Chains A and B, each alone.
Chain A
Amino acid sequence: MGQLFLNNVQKFYGDFEVLKSIRLEVKDGEFVVFVGPSGCGKSTLLRMIAGLDSVSTGDIVIDGVRVNDKPPVERGIAMVFQSYALYPHMTVFENIAFPLRVERLVEEKIREKVEGVARILQLDKRLQQKPGMLSGGQRQRVAIGRAIVREPKIFLFDEPLSNLDAALRADMRIELSKLHQDLKATMIYVTHDQVEAMTMADRIVVLNAGSIAQVGAPLELYHKPQNLFVAGFIGNPKMNFVPVTCEAAGPEGVTVLCQGQRAVIPVAPRDNLVGKTLTLGIRPEHTHLGHGDLLIDVVPSVIERLGVNTVAYASLPGGEAYCALLPGSAPVRVNETMKTGIRAADCHLFDADGLALERRIDWQKLELPEVTAGE
C-alpha cells in the first residue's frame, strides 16, 4: 500500500513561506506529477514527503500513519534525486546494493535482488563498471535501480530527466511509465516540463508560488483549467488571453464583446458579471483561418514553419501577444493581415480575479482533441 495524505502542510524558511497550506490526497498506485515553474516549491514539497526537510506545520500521513517525525526509511519511500547522486567510488552493483547493505541483508539475497533490478533496467552488462564510465541515461537508470531495489511503497522523483537530451528523455519517459505499470507502486514525480507531466501522470498537481493551483487529470487541466495560471501553464504554445467586456449572462452562456464583435461563450454564468472586464482564453491550436464564431484580424510579425504546423506570432491592438497554431501549409505571411476564426465552444473565460467560468463540456467524452474535430 502506498497512500499519501498531505494535511495542510506548510513550510517556512525564516519568514518566507515557501509552501502555503498544501492539502492533497494521493491514492495507492497512482502516478502523480507535481508541475510548476522553477522556484515554486516542488522540490521542497518532495523533500518534505521524503523526510529530508522538516514540516513547519501540518501532517504528512502515509498509509494512515503520521510520519512527520520518522526518518525516510521508516516512511517506506525511495527517492531519485535531481542530480543522480550516485556513489562515484562504487560499481553499479554496489550502488544498487547500497540500501540492501544498510539493511544487512545476506550476500546471496543481495546478489539476487540487484541482478533482478539490473535486468529490468538493462544494466546487467554494466554491473561491474563505475558511474563515471556510464552515459547520462545509464546513470539515471542506476539511480532508479537503487530506488526500486528496496521495494518501497512510494517512489519520489525530482526532475530525473532534466539533464538528458531530448531523444533520451522521450525514451526514459516511456520506460518510467512502463515501470509504473509493472511495479504498481505509488509514484510522485516532480518536473517543470509539462510534456512529462501530460504524458506520464494519472493526475497532475500544478503548483504556483507555493500553493496548489489545480489538481486534475492531464486532459482535465487542458480542457477545464480553473484559473489563468493553469490555463497559461498547460499547453504549448501558451493560451492567448484577450480582454473582453461582458454584455450579458444567461443560461445559454456569457455574451462578451471582443474586438467589436459579440460572441456567446458557453460557460456557466455567475452573478454580477455584466459590464465587467473578463479575460477570454483562446488556445493557439483552436484558431482557424477565416471561419468561426469570433473573428480576430492580426498582422503576424514572426512565422515559424515546423512542417506539420505553422506558428504565427502577432499582437493585438491592446498590445497582448497573440499566437495562432495553423496547419503546416497555411497561407500566411509576415506583415500581411490574417483573419483567424475561433469557435465559441473552444473558448475559455476568466473573471477579473483570474478564476475560470466553468466550460460546458464533458472532457472525458472528448475522444480526440478538438483541434482535429473542429475542421
Chain B
Amino acid sequence: MKEPAQLINRYKWYEILGIYCGIFVFLSFVLAPFVEGFLVSLKPLSQLFSSPYRFVPENGSFAAYRTMWESVPGFGRYIFNSFFISGIVTTVVLCMVVPAAYAFARFEFKGRGVLLAAFLAVNMFSGAVLLIPLFRLMRSFGVLNTYFAMIVPGVAFLIPSAIWLLRTYIMRIPKELDEAAYVDGASHFYTLRRVILPIAMPGITVVAITTFIGSYAQQFIFALTFNAKTEYMPLPVGLFAYFGRQEVIWNELMAASFVGIAPAMIVIFFLQRYLVSGLTAGAVKQ
C-alpha cells in the first residue's frame, strides 16, 4: 500500500507540473550534450557532416568503440595515467586533509582564522594564473616531464577546498565525543582514528569524490604545461590524439571520451556506498 505523503510533502497539481517543467528544462541543458555525444559516437564518420543533419544515426554501430583503440594505440595508457594521477592526488590530499581539518575544527590556535581565509583566497586564483611561475619552479627543480610535476600542483590546489569541506563536517560531530575520549585517556591521534574518522566517513567520502573529480578536471592544464612526454599524458590531453592532421575523428573521439570517464564513474559508484547519513544517531541526546 502506498503511504499517504506527509503534509509538508503534499503539493497541488500545478506545483508538481511546475517542478517537473523546471527539472526538464535544466536537465535537458545538462544532458543534451551527453546524448548528442553518445549518438555521434555511434555514427560512421561519413554521416557526421551530411546535410540535412540527422540526430538519430542510421545503421549506427559500436564500431568506433573498437577502432578507437587502433587509431590511437596509447589510449589505454592515457586512461591509466589519468587514473593513476588522480588516485595518487586523492590519496595524498586525504592523508593531509583529514588531520588538518580535524585540527582546524577542534583546536584554537593562533592564525587559524587567517589560514582559513588564506585557503579561500588561494581557491580564487585559478591554477592558470600561476602556471608560468610554477613552470619556472619545476624547471629549476628539474622535475618537468614527470608524474611528479602533474601530481604536486594538483594536490596543492585541491587541499584548501578539501579542508574547508571536511572541517565543516567535523564541526558537526559533537565535541563531547572528543572530551569523553580525552577524559578516558585517549590521545588526539587515537581519538581521531577511533572516534572521529569512522563518524566522519561520509564527509571524507564526499571530499574523496570531489578531489578525484577535481584532479581529473585540472590534469589537462598541468599536463599540457609541465609535461611533454606522450607516455605520461593523461586522458584529456590524450584525446587530442584523435585530432588528426587532416580531420578530426569525431566518432572515435566521442567514444574515447565515454570510455575514458568509465573508470572514474566506477570508482565514484563504489565510494558512494559510504555516503550513508545518520551515522551519529544516539551519540548525544537530541
Interface residues of A (CB under 8 A from B): 50-52, 71-73, 77-79, 81-89, 98-99, 101-103, 130-134, 136, 139, 146, 150, 163
Is the Cβ of A73 less than 8 Å from the Cβ of B184?
Answer: yes
Which residues of chain A are near B3, meaning CB under 8 Å?
none
Is the Cβ of B185 less than 8 Å from the Cβ of A99?
Answer: yes
Residue among B190, B199, B279, B284 making CB contact with A84, cutoff 8 Å: B284
Is the Cβ of A71 less than 8 Å from the Cβ of B199?
Answer: no
Interface residues of B (CB under 8 A from A): 174, 176-177, 179-186, 190, 194-195, 198-199, 278-285
A163 to B199 Cα, complex, angstroms? 24
Is the Cβ of B282 less than 8 Å from the Cβ of A134?
Answer: yes
A139 to B176 Cα, complex, angstroms? 15
Which residues of chain B are near A81, meaning CB under 8 Å?
176, 179-180, 284
Minimum C-beta distance from A147 to chain B (A): 9
Which residues of chain A are near B281, meaning CB under 8 Å?
88, 131-132
Q: Which of B180, B183, B194, B279: most chain A CB closer than 10 A?
A: B183
A103 to B184 Cα, complex, angstroms? 9
Is the Cβ of A139 less than 8 Å from the Cβ of B285?
Answer: yes
Is the Cβ of A102 less than 8 Å from the Cβ of B283?
Answer: no
Task: Check A85/B282 contact, CB under 8 A, given A72-B182, A99-B184, A150-B184.
Answer: no
Q: Which of A78, A98, A103, A146: most chain B CB closer than 10 A?
A: A98
Which residues of chain B are near A103, meaning CB under 8 Å?
185
Residue among A82, A130, A163 making CB contact with B282, cutoff 8 Å: A130
A150 to B184 Cα, complex, angstroms? 8
Which residues of chain B are near A132, meaning CB under 8 Å?
278, 281-282
Which residues of chain B are near A87, meaning CB under 8 Å?
177, 194-195, 199, 283
Nearest A residue to B180, CB-CB = A85
A83 to B279 Cα, complex, angstroms? 17
Nearest B residue to A158, CB-CB = B176
Is the Cβ of A72 less than 8 Å from the Cβ of B185?
Answer: yes
A225 to B182 Cα, complex, angstroms? 39
Which residues of chain A are near B176, meaning CB under 8 Å?
81-83, 85
A150 to B186 Cα, complex, angstroms? 13
Nearest B residue to A47, CB-CB = B179
Task: Check A71/B185 contact, CB under 8 A, given A85-B179, A88-B279.
Answer: yes
Is the Cβ of B282 less than 8 Å from the Cβ of A139?
Answer: yes
Is the Cβ of A72 less than 8 Å from the Cβ of B183?
Answer: yes
Q: Which of A71, A72, A87, A136: most chain B CB closer than 10 A?
A: A87
The 4 closest A-B pairs by CB, nearest first: A83-B284, A132-B282, A131-B282, A73-B185
Is the Cβ of B182 less than 8 Å from the Cβ of A133?
Answer: no
Residue among A52, A85, A131, A134 making CB contact with B174, cutoff 8 Å: A85
Residue among A102, A136, A139 making CB contact with B190, cutoff 8 Å: A102
Nearest B residue to A98, CB-CB = B184
A89 to B279 Cα, complex, angstroms? 7
A50 to B177 Cα, complex, angstroms? 15
Which residues of chain A are near B279, meaning CB under 8 Å?
88-89
Which residues of chain A are near B280, meaning CB under 8 Å?
88
Cross-chain pairs A/B with CB under 8 angstroms, 17 sampled: A52-B179, A72-B182, A81-B179, A83-B176, A83-B284, A85-B174, A85-B176, A85-B179, A85-B283, A86-B282, A87-B283, A89-B198, A89-B199, A101-B194, A102-B184, A134-B282, A146-B180
Taking A71-B185, A73-B184, A133-B282 as known contacts, 12 extra A-B pairs with beta carbons closer than 8 A to each other, sorted by chain A number, are A72-B182, A73-B183, A77-B183, A79-B183, A84-B284, A88-B282, A98-B186, A102-B184, A102-B190, A130-B282, A139-B282, A139-B285
Which residues of chain A are near B278, meaning CB under 8 Å?
132
Which residues of chain A are near B179, meaning CB under 8 Å?
52, 81, 85
Is the Cβ of A85 less than 8 Å from the Cβ of B284?
Answer: yes
